[in-house]
Amino acid sequence: MKMRAARMHGYKQPLVLEEVEVPKILPTEVLVHVEAAGMCRTDFQLVDGYFTALDLPFPATPGHEIAGSIAAVGAGVPAASGLAKGDQVVVVGGWGCGECDQCRVGNHQICGKGRWPGFGLYGGYGEYVPVPYQWLIRLGSENNLKPEELAPLTDAGLTPYRGIKKLQQAGVLGPNSILAVNGLGGLGMYAVQYAKLLSGGSLVVALARSDEKLAIAKEFGADVIINVKGKTLDQVRKDLIRETGRGEFNAVIDCSGAEESIGLGTGLLATSGAYCSVGLVGNRINIPLFPLVAREQTFYGSFWGNYVDLSEVIELAKKGQIKHQINIVRFEDVNDCLDRLRDSDFVGRAVLTYK
């Protein structure tokens, strides 16, 4: 049987749209029919060679945000898993080794030997993906979410969730706290919502360079929006004082990762504030040491999310607590869409479908 796939045959080249064999599954794998695949900044970064350290084998199929249905279940998949043909599922990223210290405490997404769909032969930019049975979450019969809403939740809608949980655990959120969401790309639009859901009443300030994105952030619950385009740190501080009466953030989740974004966020971080980076646009962080030490600030890296984090996100979505901002992309348009992602042209998440 054949399927459509958009594959990389080398770095810095357009994806090749082709008909290829549907993957065979191992006995402990499940074949997932991809109904929607979120398109992430990471995908064009992969194409552009940002992750050359991965030693990617070619051809490679991008696409690590996957929702669909089960097309086949391997003969060795335990009946206790409850997985059956036709079930609606999302794919959990970061398939850990199961043996290391990180895997043992459930943080399989930071396992040193982990694998991902979308960073090898198979990914969501192809119509079928083999997945080890442990890494699926079933939606159940009461599911009322569409595949295109579900797919982005496995990364864009998951990564900021874990990041804000870290800030929550750091004890910097609550009624007298200001939490900034820095950057409103695919991740930031979800971050604003988790900022409201998880921050115990913190004032949520969204920072971005696009009025259009800021308007949606306001709709999604941001208390204050500030357009930072072309502004110095002091100008942003003045805007913040005008809007909130205070000139610093107690917590920041950085969904961009660009050098200027981190400079702004850390420059406005309060004493004993906490900063969490989830965005990966830039390469380096360059922040002054003395304020970090003398003001006892904390910096967190937060990567993707684990099975528990994703289960919580899916549950919130099922209960209607997450709003979706989706742009449907047809399979034929996948290369155009990658170009638009390079230009940060999308408001919300681009999602590939095969209809």
How many Å apart are CA 150 and CA 136, to the nearest integer? 13
- Residue 343 sits at φ, ψ, to 5 deg, of -90, 10
C-beta of 145 vs 341, nearer to Zn ion: 341
Q: Under the criterion CB under 5 A, does residue 96 sit at the interface with Zn ion?
A: yes
> In whole angstroms, how close is the CB of 223 to Zn ion at the nearest point?
28
Binding residues for Zn ion, how many (CB under 5 A)?
8
* 69 close to 82: Cβ distance less than 8 angstroms: no
Figure out which of the listed residues 29, 155, 239, 254 binds Zn ion, where binding follows CB under 5 A: 155
Residue 24's Cβ-count burial label (10 Å; 0-12, 13-18, 19+) is exposed
Residue 292 sits in the site that holds Zn ion (CB under 5 A): no
The span of 47-55, 147-155, 191-199, 336-344 binding Zn ion (CB under 5 A) equals 147-155
Binder of Zn ion out of 34, 39, 40, 281 (CB under 5 A): 40
* Residue 220: CB minimum distance to Zn ion, A: 20
Nearer to Zn ion, 16 or 100 (CB): 100
CA triple 277-118-182, angle to 5 deg: 20
Question: Measured from the CB atom, is 51 or 354 closer to Zn ion?
Answer: 51
**With respect to Zn ion, which residue has the nearer C-beta, 40 or 184?**
40
Sequence-separated (6 or more) residues with CB below 8 Å from residue 191: 160, 163, 164, 181, 253, 255, 278
How far apart are CB 67 and Zn ion at their closest, in Å? 14
The pair of structure tokens assigned to 46 is: 């992969």
Is residue 174 within 8 Å of 201, Cβ to Cβ?
Answer: yes
Which residue lies nearer to Zn ion by CB, 172 or 314?
314
- Interface map 99-138 toward Zn ion (x if CB under 5 A): -x--x-------x---------------------------
Q: Is 16 helix (H, G, I), strand (E, B) or coil?
A: strand
Among 97, 241, 308, 328, binds Zn ion (CB under 5 A): 97
Least Å distance, CB 18 to Zn ion, is 23
Contact 93, 304 (CB under 8 A): yes
CB of 183 to Zn ion, least distance (A): 14
For the chain, strand residue ranges (E) read 2-7, 16-21, 29-39, 65-73, 88-91, 128-132, 136-138, 178-182, 203-208, 224-227, 249-254, 269-277, 298-301, 326-330, 349-353
Q: In angstroms, what is the minimal distance from the CB of 347 to Zn ion?
A: 17
Q: Which residues contact 54 (CB under 8 A, 6 or more apart)?
A: 46, 119
Indicate the residue among 41 and 213 with the shorter CB distance to Zn ion: 41
Number of helical H runs and strand E runs in the chain: 11, 15
Nearer CB in complex with Zn ion: 42/202: 42
Residue 16 interacts with Zn ion (CB under 5 A): yes or no:
no
For residues 328 and 350, what is the distance between their CA atoms, to the nearest angstrom? 6
Q: Which stretch binds Zn ion (CB under 5 A): 97-105, 119-127, 214-222, 233-241?
A: 97-105
Q: Which two tokens stand for residue 329?
A: 């992309």
Q: Does 5 bind Zn ion (CB under 5 A)?
A: no
From the list 33, 42, 132, 324, which residue makes contact with Zn ion (rule: CB under 5 A)? 42
Positions in the binding site for Zn ion (CB under 5 A): 40, 42, 96-97, 100, 103, 111, 155
